[in-house]
Amino acid sequence: MSPIEISQMRWTLRPKPEEVAVKELSKAIKVSPLVATLLLQRGISTYEEALHFFRPELEDLHDPFLMKDMDKAVDRIEQAIKKEQNILVYGDYDVDGTTAVALLSSYLLESYPRVATYIPDRYAEGYGISYAGIDFADDNEIDLIIALDCGIKAIDKVSYAKEKGIDFIICDHHRPGEQLPEAVAVLDPKREDCTYPYDELCGCGIGFKLIQAIEFSKGRSIDGLIPYLDLVATAIAADIVPMTGENRVLAHFGLKVINASHRPGFKAILKALKKTLLTITDVVFVIAPRINAAGRMEHGRYAVALLTETNPAKAEEMAREIEVFNTDRRGLDQEITAEALVQIQENKEEERFTSVVYRESWHKGVIGIVASRLTETYYRPTLVFTKSGDKLAASARSVRGFDVYNALELCQDHLEQFGGHKYAAGLTLLENQYDDFKAQFEKVVASTIDPMLLTPEINIDAEIMLSEITPKLMRILSQFAPFGPGNMKPVFLSHHLQDTGYAKGVGEENKHLKLAVKQHTPQPIGAIGFGLGSKLAVVANGSEFSAVYTLEENVWNGTVNLQLKLKDLRAS
């Protein structure tokens, strides 16, 4: 299995909806059959569903008290406030955890002063609830810990806290084990006994449902919570949870809050970004990495401090410091990725079904990013290990369609602990377990993965003619946003295309491809293919080719033109 090349991409055209359904929806909402097709592929088949999709409303959010244990969580927080007890808001060190801590702590502090925050040290304590964190709570006379984005498997730690007279409320979105912690309340829609209508919330999203429940218990509407939605939208984007249901509603309104630039921390991060309107993509690639960089390179408390800072001057100072962390993170990321690729090649592991690499000196803060880079290169389930205290820690990443969490479950005899999602997980093991684990992981993946999944797939929504691409279509497609898993940007396929003769490689080492495309007509449309520079020969000399692409607006010298953003192309 050599590194993946674009030419190895699988093109998969989604099944066409039934023609009758397309006609009915097209007529009901007065859109083209193409738009109706795209909506039906997203599960939208009626006027009402289309209305909710195109015009999200906060009223579309579910009653938070439908979540198992929500009443118990609200009662315990109200009891803590009534008795003037100390509350500790505890969260993981990534974007989801730090935004959740910023959200809940700032909300509580608006009306109650006895609230502190705690983010575990990635290196000294590791992921999730730690004994050190509980000892900190005990030393500071904390009566109640509210854990966000972690804790669902912290059976022993919650018991340890209970022995010290400290109560726990768990707000998590990871998969529970067979046993739940003995907390006062466990908020997790993935609990088997939880019938909450939507189970794809991120940790910050569950934190938001908690403050929504507190507000409802006081007879207030959701309107007062809108300023917190910028944090929720950031967590949704960074954690790559499905952009469907409640997540899409929260992200839609959260983006509006971000673009209004009310939060000094975000304003400071975005100061140098010359964009008038941010998208979810900007949140993923601009805001999230900088928040993450604090926990990766120094400590997650820097991120919480920036997100909760109300003084613009102080926020700018913090943002500059975090920018340094992010620059350092990028350098380490590139360096370690290069070392890991060499290790794979030297050990002749290209023929394996998995990539598992280890070096004790690798920085724990970037191994997740490195795992993603390796997955992009070799496209197979990947783990990157480093030394963490007296154990080894790893970040796991998977390929589309393969559940790496389930694979790790089948290797748990060789693990100390693990947790995560279908496509991303974290784990720790003893050094003497490494070789046995590596062999078992390879065996499990080799015996359970469909070999087809080891070739990257491009899912195509519809085959269209270039003549169908109009400003009106673009205006409608822009209303499909925010995009994300479950609601990806529409991908189109067109055949019998030709370049107008000006195709060329652009960028460093001509890595990218720029061309103008026509189809049975002299009217061309611009196209850009990032990373497709090697495909120049496919389009040369008037050769016909097929292309897979999304649509975007290209702004040049104040003029806006539609262009194809190529994902792949091949000879017709």
Mean pLDDT of 125-136: 91
Q: How confident is the model at residue 446 (pLDDT cuts 50, 70, 90)?
A: very high
Amino acid symbol at 554: N
Same domain membership, residue 168 and residue 26: no
Mean pLDDT of 245-257: 96
Q: What is the pLDDT of residue 150?
A: 94
**Domain presence at residue 341:** no
**Cβ neighbours of 1 (radius 10 Å):** 15
Q: How confident is the model at residue 491 (pLDDT cuts 50, 70, 90)?
A: very high
Q: What is the pLDDT of residue 514?
A: 95
Q: What is the pLDDT of residue 121?
A: 86
pLDDT tens, position by position, 7-61? 478 999 999 999 999 999 999 999 999 999 999 999 999 999 999 999 999 999 9
Mean pLDDT of 543-572: 90
Same domain membership, residue 108 and residue 215: yes
pLDDT at 556 over 80: no
Mean pLDDT of 197-218: 97
pLDDT tens, position by position, 57-105? 999 999 999 999 999 999 999 999 999 999 999 998 889 999 999 999 9
| Burial state string for 493-516 with b = 16 or more CB within 10 A and e = fewer than 16 | bbeebbbeeebebeeeeeebbbbb
**Domain presence at residue 179:** yes
**Domain presence at residue 312:** yes
pLDDT at 112 over 60: yes
Q: What is the pLDDT of residue 347?
A: 74
- Report percent pLDDT > 70 for the chain: 98
Same domain membership, residue 263 and residue 177: yes
pLDDT at 387 over 70: yes
| Domain residue limits at 15 | 6-55+457-571
pLDDT at 1 over 50: no
The sign of the torsion formed by the CA atoms of 432, 436, 442, 444 equals negative
Q: What is the pLDDT of residue 123?
A: 76
**Average of per-residue pLDDT values in the chain:** 92
Q: What is the pLDDT of residue 448?
A: 96
Q: Would residue 420 be called left, alpha or beta, if left means φ above 0 and alpha means ψ between -120 and 50 degrees?
A: left
Instruction: List, in order, residues 6 or more apart from 244 with CB less than 8 Å away.
Output: 200, 486, 487
Mean pLDDT of 412-430: 89
User: Cα–Cα distances in Å, from 453 out to 4, 8, 377, 448, 471?
Assistant: 12, 12, 14, 11, 36
Q: What is the pLDDT of residue 518?
A: 94
- Which has more pLDDT, 309 or 389? 309
pLDDT tens, position by position, 46-61? 999 999 999 999 999 9
Tokens of 300: 């997650």
Domain boundary among 431, 454, 477: 454
Same domain membership, residue 98 and residue 153: yes
Domain boundary among 433, 454, 475: 454
Q: How confident is the model at residue 6 (pLDDT cuts 50, 70, 90)?
A: very low
Same domain membership, residue 213 and residue 182: yes
Q: What is the pLDDT of residue 557?
A: 72
CA 196 – CA 45 distance, rounded (Å): 23
Alpha helices in 347-430 (DSSP H): 367-378, 404-409
Instruction: List, in order, residues 6 or more apart from 352 with CB less than 8 Å away.
Output: 1, 380, 442, 446
**Cβ neighbours of 341 (radius 10 Å):** 18
**Domain presence at residue 328:** no
Domain boundary among 420, 454, 488: 454
**Domain presence at residue 385:** yes
Mean pLDDT of 518-542: 90
Q: How confident is the model at residue 523 (pLDDT cuts 50, 70, 90)?
A: confident
> Is residue 383 within 8 Å of 441, Cβ to Cβ?
yes
Mean pLDDT of 142-155: 96
- Which has more pLDDT, 93 or 165? 165
Predicted model pTM: 0.89
Here the CATH number for the domain that contains residue 469 is 2.40.50.460
- Which has more pLDDT, 470 or 520? 470
Mean pLDDT of 231-238: 95
**Domain presence at residue 336:** no
Same domain membership, residue 105 and residue 238: yes
> Is residue 484 within 8 Å of 233, Cβ to Cβ?
no
Same domain membership, residue 309 and residue 249: yes
SS3 state at 282: helix
Segment (H or E) for 322: helix 312-346
| Strand 87-91 versus strand 115-118 pairing type | parallel
Q: What is the pLDDT of residue 3?
A: 56
> Is residue 386 within 8 Å of 366, Cβ to Cβ?
no
Same domain membership, residue 461 and residue 449: no
pLDDT at 296 over 90: no
Same domain membership, residue 313 and residue 364: no
Segment (H or E) for 22: helix 19-29
Q: What is the pLDDT of residue 7?
A: 47
Q: How confident is the model at residue 4 (pLDDT cuts 50, 70, 90)?
A: low
Same domain membership, residue 490 and residue 406: no
User: Cα–Cα distances in Å, from 214 out to 72, 80, 119, 203, 399?
Assistant: 11, 13, 23, 17, 39
Rg (CA), the chain: 25
pLDDT at 341 over 90: yes
SS3 state at 523: coil
SS3 state at 252: helix
pLDDT at 380 over 90: yes
CA 190 – CA 176 distance, rounded (Å): 7
Same domain membership, residue 555 and residue 432: no
CA 43 – CA 31 distance, rounded (Å): 16
Strand-by-strand arrangement of the 391-397 sheet? 355-358, 382-388, 391-397, 424-429, 417-420
- Which has more pLDDT, 387 or 554? 387
pLDDT at 346 over 90: no
**Domain presence at residue 326:** no
Q: What is the pLDDT of residue 358?
A: 96
Same domain membership, residue 185 and residue 86: yes
**Domain presence at residue 351:** yes
548 beta partners: 493, 568
pLDDT at 405 over 80: yes
Task: Domain count for the chain, please give it.
Answer: 3
Here the CATH number for the domain that contains residue 388 is 3.10.310.30
